[in-house]
């Protein structure tokens, strides 16, 4: 019900950074110190075949004689060829052709990049909402970059989408919703095998009206940064009793990753069609 207005964006422009990385021969177009969050497997092949004289020709009206009045440049042609190869590679490594299902009877609703999981439990309606935009952490964060001479394919990490998510619990007949803003601490991802700690945490808790579509800042919001651990543990148990536990969080990451990859491929296809269109 409530959009993720309070979610902190993770990394802006990761897809743009990946596309810019497709032209390593033009260093001024890409920041030298910022790592590529989505490595491309074909950069060393396709980028090396691009001819600079064609890319640097002045843009002008169509000269192909088709009468379309559009722009046709060597750069556009090379861009479309790169996108064709990249789409093929992304589809080849796509893990899920359709979105995976959540266990526990959760019903999934998808609207673009936003997903909503709904479940009714003994007189309560539990809704979990998340958005896959900016949900992939940096590929290299505080680590050394790729070593020289190593193949790009060998360096590519498995990209995982770990979005912030909001849990809303509404009692039947009530006009109030208990809203818990949750997130995945980056240092906890993948650590569930080492101990039994929670792989997600509650960031904020608030009561909101069920008739409001936006989170109102005039309602008291409890931050868990300085919260008593006893109260925090009870809130985590409250979520677990309603099916939002580590197993749920693992499956949410799997679902979000599949949705993010699906949307990324669709973006590449739309980008190819946009560049190629007359």
Give the model's pLDDT for residue 208: 92
Mean pLDDT of 262-269: 97
Q: Return mean pLDDT, the chain.
A: 77
Alpha-carbon distance 232 to 230, whole Å? Answer: 5
The more confident residue out of 190 and 197 is: 197
The more confident residue out of 39 and 80 is: 80
Instruction: For the chain, list the domains and their CATH numbers.
Output: 93-134+159-186+197-268 (3.10.280.10)
Question: What is the helix (H) or strand (E) element at residue 201, kind and residue range?
Answer: strand 201-209
162 pLDDT above the threshold of 50: yes
Give the model's pLDDT for residue 82: 97
pLDDT in tens, 223-261: 999 889 999 999 999 999 999 999 999 999 999 999 999
The more confident residue out of 140 and 258 is: 258
Give the model's pLDDT for residue 73: 87
pLDDT in tens, 51-108: 444 444 445 556 555 556 567 788 999 999 999 999 999 999 999 989 999 999 999 9
42 pLDDT above the threshold of 70: no
Mean pLDDT of 18-43: 44
**C-alpha closest to that of 278 among 10, 73, 15:** 73
Residue 213: pLDDT band with limits 50, 70, 90: low
Mean pLDDT of 128-151: 72
How many residues are recorded in the chain? 278
The more confident residue out of 226 and 10 is: 226
Q: In Å, how far are 72, 164, 215 from 5, measured between CA atoms?
A: 41, 11, 7
Please, which residues have CB within 8 angstroms of residue 252's CB and are 6 or more apart in sequence?
Answer: 102, 117, 128, 130, 165
Q: Whole-model pTM? A: 0.71
**Residue 23 token pair:** 């032209």
38 pLDDT above the threshold of 50: yes
10 pLDDT above the threshold of 60: no
Residue 50: pLDDT band with limits 50, 70, 90: very low
Give the model's pLDDT for residue 72: 73
Q: Of 45-49, 109-113, 159-163, 172-176, where does mean pLDDT reach its minimum?
A: 45-49
Q: In Å, how far are 9, 176, 204, 235 from 182, measured between CA atoms?
A: 13, 19, 7, 11
Q: Of 34-48, 97-111, 128-142, 199-213, where does mean pLDDT reach its minimum?
A: 34-48
Tokens 């893990």 belong to which residue? 95
Give the model's pLDDT for residue 87: 97
Tokens 């949750």 belong to which residue? 182
């Amino acid at each position: 019900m409530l959009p993720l207005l309070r979610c902190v964006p993770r990394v802006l422009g990761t897809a743009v950074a990946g596309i810019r990385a497709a032209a390593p021969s033009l260093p001024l177009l890409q920041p030298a110190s910022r790592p590529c969050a989505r490595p491309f497997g074909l950069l060393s092949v396709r980028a090396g075949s691009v001819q600079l004289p064609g890319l640097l020709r002045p843009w002008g009206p169509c000269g192909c004689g088709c009468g379309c009045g559009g722009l046709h440049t060597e750069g556009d042609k090379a861009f479309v060829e790169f996108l064709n190869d990249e789409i093929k590679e992304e589809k080849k490594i796509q893990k899920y052709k359709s979105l995976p299902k959540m266990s526990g009877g959760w019903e999934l609703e998808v609207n673009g990049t936003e997903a909503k999981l709904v479940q009714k439990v003994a007189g309560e309606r539990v809704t979990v909402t998340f958005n896959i935009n900016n949900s992939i952490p940096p590929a290299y964060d505080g680590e050394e970059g790729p070593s020289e001479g190593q193949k790009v394919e060998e360096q590519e990490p498995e990209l995982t989408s770990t979005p912030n998510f909001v849990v809303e619990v509404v009692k039947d007949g009530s006009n109030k919703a208990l809203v818990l803003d949750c997130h995945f601490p980056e240092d906890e991802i993948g650590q569930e095998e080492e101990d039994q700690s929670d792989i997600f945490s509650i960031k904020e808790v608030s009561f909101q009206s069920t008739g409001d579509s936006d989170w109102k800042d005039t309602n008291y919001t409890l931050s868990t940064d300085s919260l008593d651990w006893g109260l925090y543990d009870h809130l985590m148990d409250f979520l677990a009793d309603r099916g939002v536990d580590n197993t749920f969080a693992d499956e949410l990451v799997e679902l979000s990753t599949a949705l993010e990859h699906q949307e990324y491929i669709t973006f590449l296809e739309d980008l190819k069609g946009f560049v190629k269109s007359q």
